[in-house]
Homo-oligomer: A and B are copies of this chain.
Amino acid sequence: MVPEETSQWVAEAVGGVLRGPGDVPVRGVASLADALPDQVSFLGHPKYRSRVLPSAAGVVLVPPGFDTAPPSGRAWVVCDRPSDSFSILVQHFAPPPAVPAPGIHATAVVAASACLGAGVHLGPHVVLGAGARVGDRSVIEAGCCIGEGSRIGEDCRLYPNVTVRERCCIGNRVIIHPGAVIGADGFGYVSGPRGHAKIPQLGSVQIDDDVEIGALTAVDRARFGRTWIQRGTKIDNLVQIAHNVVVGQGCLVAGQAGLSGSCRLGNGVILAGQVGLIDHCAIGDGAIVMGQSGVTADLDAGALVFGTPALDRREFARMQMNVKRLERLQRTIRELESRLAALERRGPDPP
């Protein structure tokens, strides 16, 4: 079942340059640390350079700058982006599992007014509310609940136990990972002497084409209007997207980031893990927020920030450096003090 290939085949498959023998057998893929002699690996991060030679991998994809020659019986394949090229090999040797076959499981509960496209798969215990729509070839796995009037586009995949509440609108080729929640109420109250009165959250969620939503991520419905994730944006696990947020096209939002109410991200914004954004803040196109940063003000396009409150990365680094120098600074000041005291002791020289 597993394909048997050679180092020569690998070089051709990735369009790289072979260094060493072309007949090294290749039957699988693995990391440098785990690889066996008949597996191909790759150098994907400079910090692992020293692992290439000790690795048992028969073939290794290396970047152009890698000068060490392969030892006897092993081969390198030089390619511009070893990590990207490796994906081609991963797919060849470890093909993805088949997509579930079309059909509606007997235990699915589908409202009479729901509307299903051609080739749809509904897994066991799926619930489709009144007026819900699922587009052609979409796969809704076990335990998913789709609320009244929500629409799922074509070629989508919802993994098990996803909840989509009423009147949400999800585009084509959208992937939603297990346990994610789309369209829960935003967190909004009017606080008064008798407590926190709930502000009705009567808007919805719109997720455009080619978006991916991670496991256990929450995208809240808008207070009115819509919370909106635009085309091609990818969101990781355990992310919080509050009500009325707008995330532009092609953004990357890493695990456990939190976007407070009414934030607006431009296109191509990158939020690293555990980042937090204050409510109502606007992040310009292509801005990058580094891990754990807390953004408390709008960011210009192309900004690169770090820290809480987030600062320009170079400014943050300079501040850190200044703080690290404080001990030396204190010594300098003590020294100045004693030199000054010595001068003072000299006293006004007698005339």
When the two chains form their complex, are residues B292 and A276 in contact, meaning their CB atoms are under 8 A apart? yes
* Cβ contacts under 8 Å, A348 to chain B: 346, 349
Q: CB-nearest residue of chain B relative to A231?
A: B195
When the two chains form their complex, are residues B216 and A218 in contact, meaning their CB atoms are under 8 A apart? yes
Report Cα–Cα, A185/B142, bound state, in Å: 17
Given contacts A148-B97, A276-B291, A308-B292, contact A179 B179 (CB under 8 A): yes
When the two chains form their complex, are residues A31 and B349 in contact, meaning their CB atoms are under 8 A apart? no
Interface range for A: 35 or more
* Cβ contacts under 8 Å, A29 to chain B: 224
Report Cα–Cα, A348/B344, bound state, in Å: 11
Mask of A28-56 contacts with B, CB within 8 angstroms, 1/0: 01110010000000000101000000000
Interface residue stretch chosen among A1-9, A69-77, A114-122, A327-335: A327-335
Report Cα–Cα, A178/B216, bound state, in Å: 10
When the two chains form their complex, are residues B234 and A184 in contact, meaning their CB atoms are under 8 A apart? no
Interface residue stretch chosen among A19-27, A59-67, A84-92, A132-140: A84-92
When the two chains form their complex, are residues B178 and A159 in contact, meaning their CB atoms are under 8 A apart? no
Please give the distance in Å from A325's CB to the nearest CB on chain B.
Answer: 8
Mask of A235-247 contacts with B, CB within 8 angstroms, 1/0: 0111010101000
Please give the distance in Å from A145's CB to the nearest CB on chain B.
Answer: 4
* Cβ contacts under 8 Å, A337 to chain B: 332, 336
Q: CB-nearest residue of chain B relative to A188?
A: B87
Binding site secondary structure of chain A: loop
Mask of A282-304 contacts with B, CB within 8 angstroms, 1/0: 00000000011010100000000
Q: Tell me how many chains of this kind the complex includes.
A: 3
Report Cα–Cα, A62/B215, bound state, in Å: 41
Chain A residues at the B interface, C-beta cutoff of 8 Å: 29-31, 34, 45, 47, 81, 84, 87, 90-91, 94-97, 105, 107, 109, 123-125, 127, 141-143, 145, 148, 159-161, 163, 165-167, 175, 177-179, 181, 184-185, 187, 189-191, 195-196, 198-200, 202-203, 210, 212, 214-216, 218, 220, 223-225, 232, 234, 236-238, 240, 242, 244, 250, 252, 254-256, 258, 260, 273-274, 276, 278, 280, 291-292, 294, 296, 307-309, 318-320, 322-327, 329-330, 332-333, 336-337, 339-340, 343-344, 346, 348-351
When the two chains form their complex, are residues B214 and A184 in contact, meaning their CB atoms are under 8 A apart? yes
When the two chains form their complex, are residues A184 and B145 in contact, meaning their CB atoms are under 8 A apart? no
* Cβ contacts under 8 Å, A198 to chain B: 212
Given contacts A308-B292, A329-B330, contact A161 B143 (CB under 8 A): yes
> What are 22 of the A-B contact pairs (CB < 8 Å)?
A81-B190, A97-B167, A105-B109, A109-B125, A124-B127, A143-B145, A160-B163, A163-B215, A165-B178, A178-B181, A178-B184, A195-B250, A218-B237, A242-B255, A256-B256, A276-B291, A323-B323, A325-B330, A336-B336, A339-B340, A349-B351, A350-B351
When the two chains form their complex, are residues A324 and B319 in contact, meaning their CB atoms are under 8 A apart? yes
